[in-house]
Amino acid sequence: MDRHTNNSESIVRPRSRWPWPRIRALAIVTLRQGLRMRLWVLAAPAIAILVAADVSSPRFDAVFDGIPAAVGTSLLVMTVMAVLVGLFFATYALPSEMESKVAHTVATKPVTAAEIVAGKVLGLSLLLAAMLAAVGAGAYAYILVRAADIQVQAARRLDELRPRATHPADLNAVEAIARRGPLQTYRYHAADEGPEIGIEYGPDWRGPADARWVLAETGMRLSWSLAAAPVREWSASGPCRVTASLLVERAPCAAKPSTESPQQAAPDEKPADAPVQVLAALLPAGRDIGRIPTDPREPVYQDFFDLSASGVLEVTVLAADAPPVKGALNVPAGGDLVLHVLAASSGMLVGARGGSLRIVGPGGQERLVEAAPAVNPGEMRRRVLLAGRSIAPRQTALFRFDDVRPGRLGSADPAFEVGFSLDAWAPPTVQPDARLTFIRSDGQERTLLFHPESHHSTILYLDREFWRGGPLQVRLECLTDEDYFGLVPDSVRLRLDGGPHVLNFARGAAMVWLFGTVLVAIGTVMSARLSWFVSILATITFFVLGMCRGFILGSTPLGPAARRLAQFACDRLAWDGWRWVAQYVVVPLPDLRVLVPDESLSMGQVLPLADLGQAAAWTAAGSVVLVLVGAWLLKRREVAA
């Protein structure tokens, strides 16, 4: 105890107004105290635990999942160590000194309570940094060993798959690991526009170049805006007629899969002279096509119509309050009107030029819509379906990358991540085929055929000799008959080189250290007024509520369900305290999950410096607030003593 007292006396002399020398000296004393307690011996068991956990954990694919699993396990073990230091040792430092009277000796010196708490927090944070550095170094040494073994496995698998590969692009991901190793980091560059759904007509297409076309069974539609047309006014005095002169082409049929016997052969499609059927819908802008009503008293806003032999579509339009009539559409009550036309007959192309839509009123008045129809996959839809066809014409999805600076490409070849949901109702034996076409600003194209992965995204690498940055268009096509790909704007993303893997791992470890520093500050504040055992319980409660804050308040996908479950339990117990707890206890708490490294970091995605800086600023601000609270609690404890 005398030795501690002498250290404390040397800390505070000479007295200066600037508190940093005293905080630094107290932090050094706390760090030495932790080292004397030999907390650093936890590093070796932590490394052994992460190695054992990684070796024993099952993996779907050792080549692709090995390094993400090892990195994720390492960060998890370091996070657990930060939690242990924050929950147990941080709550032990001040109470132990209180019991040994060392804290009372320091408190009698010209050292403020805030400086004592700040010194403890800084010293424990430095101790945690040293422990995490030791564990991180050992963990990354193990990751390097795993990476060397995985690279050998990838080279062996590449030799086995190369003779059987249908599409060379299917080997892109394995080739990258066999050539450069699995320690690759990346950062995303999202598409500036897309998916823009269109049609690939093929080299033999002879249709009119100035027409807009939609292909049947793709969900695409021709859409005319009728906002400037007096359809609602004219239909109020009698039935109107909307006439559209459409172009119709029969698309070549793809080969049907063979059946077991001629008796089981699929029936032929409709004969060539069968009438072409379309779905016409008259809807307000922003509303998508829904169901066709079955109640004869319900207004009809969409229905099926047969085209005439010349391709003319005639639709009778009735007032909103008029009784529904077969073969006619009612005008919606409000909103700007839009006419949608979808090709309903299988294997049909339906198109239209500008000036092909005419509106005739009940008194013979006419209005010509001169604008060409727009082609879109639906109103207010984030997810679209890309229908497949093995022969042209087929549907396409176009993504545009406006300008990628060459300096952002890095040293590795740029890769494109293609991820979409496959058709759930397709037979499991179907192997989908897809094609990705890269189009440079000068019109040069590069095509890659590939088999989409079902359990994770497909990675396709683009040769740097073909594209060195700048504008780029990426066109995606499904080549499998009667199959569909679900697409969102993030379905095709550019993956750029993210720099050294060890640097990204260090950023993740630094984020764990920031997370642990906040826990250390919380534990120190709790122990400034409470006993060791009670402060541990209070810190655990604070930690659990901070980690579950999003679930409790409903800011996560499972949050509303968790909140309803808790409210239901409180209602059954006739206790109305849940709302009070959520409003006055949980809301002021910080969300500690924002300091935990995201799972994408273990997959190789770069942790941006901006996010790390934001976490550091959040940690610094929170620690200052906690130090002030701890100083106030320590003063009250001194007065009570």
The pLDDT mean for the chain works out to 82
pLDDT at 159: 94
End residue of a domain, out of 439, 465, 497: 497
Instruction: Give the C-alpha separation, 80 to 62, whole Å.
Output: 25
Bridge partners, residue 584, by sequence: none
End residue of a domain, out of 463, 497, 531: 497
* 509 in the same domain as 493: no
pLDDT at 601: 92
* Sign, Cα dihedral of 112, 116, 121, 127: positive
pLDDT at 381: 58
CA separation (Å) from 575 to 36, 518, 544, 554, 566? Answer: 49, 33, 22, 20, 11
> 492-497 and 445-450 as β-strands: parallel, antiparallel, unpaired?
unpaired
- Which is more confidently placed, 88 or 426? 88
* 226 in the same domain as 140: no
pLDDT at 216: 86
* 336 in the same domain as 215: yes
* 316 in the same domain as 440: no
pLDDT in tens, 516-570: 999 999 988 888 888 878 888 888 888 887 787 766 665 555 445 555 655 565 5
Instruction: Give the C-alpha separation, 100 to 112, whole Å.
Output: 19
Instruction: Give the C-alpha separation, 228 to 207, whole Å.
Output: 30
**What is the average per-residue pLDDT within 301-328?**
90
* 554 in the same domain as 470: no
- Which is more confidently placed, 293 or 563? 293
Instruction: Give the C-alpha separation, 56 to 220, whole Å.
Output: 49
End residue of a domain, out of 438, 464, 497: 497
**What is the average per-residue pLDDT within 391-420?**
88
pLDDT in tens, 236-267: 999 999 999 999 988 777 544 433 333 333 33
* 281 in the same domain as 403: no
* 507 in the same domain as 491: no
- Which is more confidently placed, 51 or 89? 51
* 138 in the same domain as 44: yes
pLDDT at 113: 83
Bridge partners, residue 9, by sequence: none
Angle at 189 between CA 188 and CA 191, to 5 degrees: 130
Bridge partners, residue 400, by sequence: 193, 473
For 370, other C-beta atoms within 10 Å of its C-beta total: 8
Of 96-105, 149-158, 389-398, which range is least confident?
Answer: 96-105
162 falls within a domain:
no
Instruction: Give the C-alpha separation, 556 to 548, whole Å.
Output: 10
- Assigned token pair, 354: 């500008």
Do the Cβ atoms of 80 and 49 come closer than 8 Å? Answer: no
Do the Cβ atoms of 308 and 214 come closer than 8 Å? Answer: no
pLDDT in tens, 452-504: 877 778 999 998 889 988 999 999 999 988 788 888 888 999 999 999 999 99
Do the Cβ atoms of 235 and 318 come closer than 8 Å? Answer: yes
171 falls within a domain:
no
> 221-225 and 374-376 as β-strands: parallel, antiparallel, unpaired?
antiparallel
**What is the average per-residue pLDDT within 393-409?**
89
* 466 in the same domain as 517: no
The residue range of the domain holding 49 is 2-151+500-640
pLDDT in tens, 608-622: 999 999 999 999 999
CA separation (Å) from 545 to 70, 264, 541, 559? Answer: 29, 62, 6, 13
pLDDT at 264: 33
288 falls within a domain:
yes
* 137 in the same domain as 33: yes
pLDDT at 280: 93
Do the Cβ atoms of 213 and 378 come closer than 8 Å? Answer: no
Looking at residue 606, its amino acid is V
Domain count, the chain: 3
Q: What CATH number does the domain containing 446 carry?
A: 2.60.120
Instruction: Give the C-alpha separation, 41 to 604, whole Å.
Output: 30
306 falls within a domain:
yes
348 falls within a domain:
yes
pLDDT at 401: 94
Prior bond of 557 cis (ω within 30°)? no
Prior bond of 588 cis (ω within 30°)? no
pLDDT at 607: 94
Of 24-33, 223-232, 579-588, 597-606, which range is least confident?
Answer: 579-588
Of 323-327, 400-404, 552-556, which range is least confident?
Answer: 552-556
363 falls within a domain:
yes
pLDDT at 9: 41
* Sign, Cα dihedral of 86, 87, 89, 93: positive
DSSP 609-629: HHHHHHHHHHHHHHHHHHHHH
600 falls within a domain:
yes
Q: What is the dihedral of CA 3, 4, 10, 15, to 10 degrees?
A: -150
Do the Cβ atoms of 6 and 95 come closer than 8 Å? Answer: no
Of 3-17, 191-205, 359-373, 410-424, which range is least confident?
Answer: 3-17
* 630 in the same domain as 578: yes
Percentage above 70 pLDDT, the chain: 83
pLDDT in tens, 104-157: 545 545 678 888 889 989 999 999 999 999 999 999 999 999 999 999 999 999
385 falls within a domain:
no
* 448 in the same domain as 357: no
Looking at residue 262, its amino acid is P
